[in-house]
Every structure is written in C-alpha cells, then in structure tokens.
Structure 1
Amino acid sequence: MTSPREFIAGTDPRVLRDAMGCFATGVTVVTALAEDGEPVGLTANSFTSVSLDPPLLLVCPAKNAGTTRVLENTEHFAVNVLGTDQKDLSQLFATKGADRFDGFAFETWDYGVPIIPGSLANFECRRHALHDGGDHMILVGEVERVRFEPNRDPLLYFGGKYRRLHFT
C-alpha cells in the first residue's frame, strides 16, 4: 500500500494536478464561431451544471488556448458532451495546431455555432458571464437549446487517462 501524497501551496504543481485528476470528469468539446465565421473548438473537462432557473452551465477553458480568445468575445457557444465512441474527437480538439474542422461535418442550430452530431449531449448557449479563474477562464452560459441521448455511456477522464463506466 502506498502512502497518500500531499500538496502544500507553493510546492510542486504537478502534485496538485495529480490530486485534481482523482475526480472523474466527462469530456466535452466547446465550439464557437470566430469573428471571420470560421468554426473553432477545444476539448475541456472542466464543465458543470450551475442552475436550472435560469438554466446555466459553466466550462473552464485554459487561457493559453487559441479558442479561448474567441470564447471571450463571442455571444454564443456550444458544449458537446462526448460519448465513449468519440475519444478521437476529444484528442483532435485537444491537439494544438490541428485543423479541427477539416473534413468534419457539423450541424448548426439557431445561433450558427458548430454542433457535433452523435454527441451524448449538445448545449447551445448564450454567454451569461465571464470570470477570471487563474490560468483558466470561467465561462458561464445560459442554455438556449439541448439535445441528448441518455442511454449511451459518457467518455470519462480520470487520472490522466480516458476511462469507461464500470457497473458492479
């Protein structure tokens, strides 16, 4: 049996990252349109429901991601929750410099932002608030439209690796 590891403020940030990795999360791709009309997107696992009335969610993209600058300035965006069969999409949208939409068929709904078909859930949002979150930004969206398939399994991320649900 190994001893628990500890993080104390000011010590190795990798230890803190490993500790945060103990919380299993779903995997999303956040999409929007740049000012020139080009679709943009990034993989994010910092995502949660905030409120049902009004319907709010939040996602926390890294400030150093190129797509984050678009998200800071756009009025509408989408959060696409990935299923177990979409690991390749997660990796594509996490790859710096990749042409993420090359040859990729996406849908658009009411606000023209890219919606990834076949996702476990899609949320089309209007920006509600934007907050500083250290090296990430906290983007709160008001949900305008949703589509979801509750009978499929989510793509999970835990301990720095993709995972699947295991029921006992």
Structure 2
Amino acid sequence: MQFPLFPAFFVTAPSQAQAPSFSPDEFRDALGMFATGVTIVTARAADGSLVGLTANSFNSVSLTPPLVLWSLARSSGSMPALDTGSHYAINILAANQKELAERFAQKRMDRWADVTFAEGLGGAPLLDGAAASFECFNRSRYDEGDHVIFVGEVERCTMRVGASPLLFHGGRFYTEHPL
C-alpha cells in the first residue's frame, strides 16, 4: 500500500476568490446586520476649507502604537483632501447627534453651517458634543476594491464621560440599552 506524500488537506489553495454569488444590494443588507457606531471624519484641506463626512467603517487596529482605521470610497469628493492631508479627526457621535450624522452624509448642502467645533491637530475639527474624538496622523493608506483604507496614528484622544454613542444597524439609528 502506497501513501501520498501529502494528505488531501494540503491541496494548494486557489490564487483568487470566486465570483460572488450575491448582488451588491444583498451584500449591503448583510453588512447592515453588523451594528456599528457612527463617526464623522473631519479634516482641513490644504486651501483651508473644512472637510467632513459620516462614516461607520471605523475600527481599532493597535494599542501600541495607537492605530485606528476607516475607509472611504475612492469616488468621494472628500478624497483629495483626506488622501494628501497630514491629519484628520474621527469624531464618535453621541446619541443626540443623529442630525449631524444625516447632515454629513448628504452631498449637496453646507455641512458646516452652524456646526460648533474646536480646532484639533493639523486643523482637523473636533465636533462639540461628540462622545469621543481621535486626532490622527494620516499614517498609511491602502487601495482595496472601490475604497481606500486609511490607518491613522492617534496622537490625542478624548472622551465625554457618561455620553451614550449613536449606533447604526439595518439602515436605522439607535441608542444603547444595556442588556
């Protein structure tokens, strides 16, 4: 009896993924089952103008050094400022900031009208009333699919003790409720 040199489970893995068996809408709906916090990423462009957008693609990466990540569609009008700028801030919204989340998700309006903020590192706006803010050096960027993944090195962070975060799930906003 002869035994193969390598058992069947050592078969070489395919070199690329199979084509998806689902539509983009089905993918978006499935992703919506993951509840996330809601952030507004802010920066100051080279010309001094303010940049801000709603994002829920935020995640921690490392404690040492302190790193976070978020992603942005390549087609975003904010991409040039965020891709080349040295700093940005990630403002985690509080439960009472739903209107800001909706405003900064819109494309055709003055997002900054009547918005109060303090100036953070590199000029990145820190939104008043945010549950937490992370002031980041724009450390690295990775092109993946139709988005760019930004990794920020956190130079300063603050949080508002007792603030409840704004949450997003299944296309709707929520607040936290302990189980």
Question: How does the TM-score come out when normalised to structure 2?
Answer: 0.86
Cα displacement (A) at 1:12: 1.3
Q: Which runs of 4+ in 1 moved over 4 A?
A: none
- Measure, in 2, the Cα distance between the counterparts of 1:142 and 1:136: 19
Which of 26, 35, 44 matches 2:55?
Answer: 44
What aligned pairs does 1:16-55 form with structure 2 within 5 A after superposition?
Answer: 16-55=27-66
Other-structure match for 1:66: 77
Work out whether 1:93 is the aligned partner of 2:79: no
Looking at structure 2, the residues matched to 135 and 10 of structure 1 have their Cα atoms a distance apart, in angstroms, of 19
| One-letter identity of the residue aligned with 2:66 | P
Which residue identity does 2:68 align to in structure 1?
A: L
Q: Which residue number corresponds to residue 106 of structure 1?
A: 117
Q: Percent identity?
A: 45
Amino acid at match of 2:36: T
The whole-number CA distance in structure 2 between the counterparts of 1:54 and 1:25 is: 24
Name stretches of at least 5 consecutive residues in structure 2 with no aligned partner: 1-18
Q: Structure 2: how far apart are the matches of 1:159 and 1:35?
A: 36
Aligned to 1:145: 156
State the Cα RMSD in Å: 1.3
Q: Distance in 2 between matches of 1:28 and 1:50?
A: 16
**1:38-93: per-residue Cα shift (whole Å, max 9, x none)?**
11100000000100111000011222221122111111000000010000000010
Rg (Cα) greater in structure: 2
Q: CA deviation at 1:10?
A: 4.7
Q: Which residue of 2 aligns with 1:4?
A: none
Aligned to 2:177: 166
Match of 2:167 among 134, 156, 165: 156
**Aligned counterparts of 2:121 and 2:42: Cα–Cα separation in 1:** 14
Q: Where in structure 1 are there 5+ consecutive unaligned residues?
A: 1-7
Under a length normalisation based on structure 1, what TM-score does the superposition of the two structures give? 0.91
Q: How many residues align?
A: 161
